[in-house]
Amino acid sequence: MNSTNTATLTQPGVPMRVRNVSKRFGAFKALDNVSLEVAAGELVCLLGPSGCGKTTLLRCIAGLERQDDGHLYLGDRDVSELAPQARDYGILFQSYALFPNLTVEANIAYGLAGRNRDGARKRVVQMLELVGLTDSEKKFPGQLSGGQQQRVALARALAPAPSLLLLDEPMSALDARVREHLCTHLRQLQRSLGITTLMVTHNQDEAMLMADRIAVMNNGKVEQYATPQDIYDKPATPFVAEFVGQGNWLPFQRNSDSHAQVGGLSIRLAADAGRAASGRLFCRPEAISVNPVLHQENLFAARVREITFLGNRCRMRFELNQLPGHALTAEVGTHELPRLGAQDIFVALPPSSLQVFA
């Protein structure tokens, strides 16, 4: 961050609400009765695969598409039928959409046409300092790196001091290292400015790193809307469990309130694991203990099939001896490999890490 007094740079964010919004393209239903609330100053990510409806929802909020049903509110205003320019938002597109024939300062000043010259110039200087490009004001977009172009586009979106910031896959054109740095920088700016922000992404890491809450979308619906930790630790549906992170699945039949039968194994479940009589058990790879030093529940003999080195950790594929042909995955630190030894191991599936899906 820099020395700019960010408290003076934008008006406080306002809450944004989506109420029962639907959108059809011919026979295809892109949005199916979607409702969502974003608190003032909150950053919410719309996360999901291509075609899930996340970009369509963003475009409806921006007024670039007209919803077929439902309402959109920014603060106390119903903006459902307003033209885009009357909705009080800034937007950063995937392509950045900078004007190649205008300098950096002219690009940023583009949305300040209604201000007097001195006021617009002061605002541009503030924005350049805010995004760390004070030495690039006379350059053209073609003279900048992808990360610098993204920061110019962000400064242009923030220059009019909007109540809402919309981000449409803003990091997708950047390489991994630059993307991580700019995610952190953008999140710091958003927090310091207090601007309500809605961001579309298909990248789980971006959503986890940046969001206060994540709306996981699939087939035009929101499958879960929660904090990043709850999305990961307590997925609400099989789709969320499979789409976010890695997971293991075991078919089961319930044999009591506290135990599930998986092949020849009886596995104890936590009280809050779920009440389904049959279906699949779900467990994250990192929750599995391999050759635990202390005795743990649900401890079973297994055989290692493959170990993949991933830098700071290893991914281990194994089969439970009493469930041959069903591959599972655990993740362990590289420093643990010498302790694990041979192909024959024991693994523990902690009851608290198991979740039941019907």
327 & 184 share domain? no
Which helix H or strand E contains 51, and what residues bound it?
none
268 & 304 share domain? yes
212 & 169 share domain? yes
For residue 289, the tally of other CB atoms under 10 A from its CB is 19
The reported pLDDT for the residue numbered 5 is 55
Put the strands of the sheet holding 355-357 in their side by side order: 265-268, 259-262, 248-254, 278-283, 355-357
Chain segment 227-286, per-residue pLDDT in tens = 999 999 999 999 999 999 999 999 999 988 899 999 989 999 998 888 888 999 999 999
Is 171 part of any domain?
Answer: yes
- Cα–Cα separations (whole angstroms), residue 49 to 4, 172, 216, 347: 38, 14, 9, 33
The reported pLDDT for the residue numbered 173 is 64
Under 8 Å CB-to-CB from 251, ≥6 apart: which residues?
Answer: 262, 279, 280, 281
Q: How confident is the model at residue 338 (pLDDT cuts 50, 70, 90)?
A: confident
| Region of 107 on the Ramachandran plot (φ > 0 left; ψ -120 to 50 alpha; else beta) | alpha
Q: Which of 240, 262, 290 is the last residue of a domain?
A: 240
> DSSP label at 183?
H
Scanning the structure block, which residue is given the tokens 């300092």? 129
Chain segment 89-126, per-residue pLDDT in tens = 999 888 878 999 999 999 999 888 778 888 889 999 99
Is 119 part of any domain?
Answer: no
Is 98 part of any domain?
Answer: no
205 & 340 share domain? no
pLDDT > 90 in the chain, percent: 65
The reported pLDDT for the residue numbered 146 is 85
Name the residue range of residue 204's domain.
Answer: 6-88+162-240
Q: Is the pLDDT of residue 63 over 80?
A: yes
Q: Which of 240, 260, 294 is the last residue of a domain?
A: 240
Query: What's the one-letter identity of residue 224?
Result: Q
Is 146 part of any domain?
Answer: no
Q: Is the pLDDT of residue 28 over 70?
A: yes
Is 166 part of any domain?
Answer: yes
Query: What's the one-letter identity of residue 264?
Result: G
Q: What's the whole-number average pLDDT of the chain?
A: 90
Q: Name the β-bridge partners of 28.
A: 25
Q: What is the 3-state secondary structure (H, E, C) of 78-126?
A: ECCCCCHHHCCEEEECCCCCCCCCCCHHHHHHHHHCCCCHHHHHHHHHH
Q: Is the pLDDT of residue 1 over 50?
A: no
183 & 43 share domain? yes
Distance CA 61, CA 280 (A): 37
* Across 24-43, average pLDDT: 96
Chain segment 146-185, per-residue pLDDT in tens = 888 888 998 999 898 899 999 998 877 677 777 777 888 8
Under 8 Å CB-to-CB from 351, ≥6 apart: which residues?
Answer: 267, 268, 269, 270, 273, 297, 298
The total number of structural domains that make up the chain = 2
Is 100 part of any domain?
Answer: no
Q: Is the pLDDT of residue 210 over 80?
A: yes
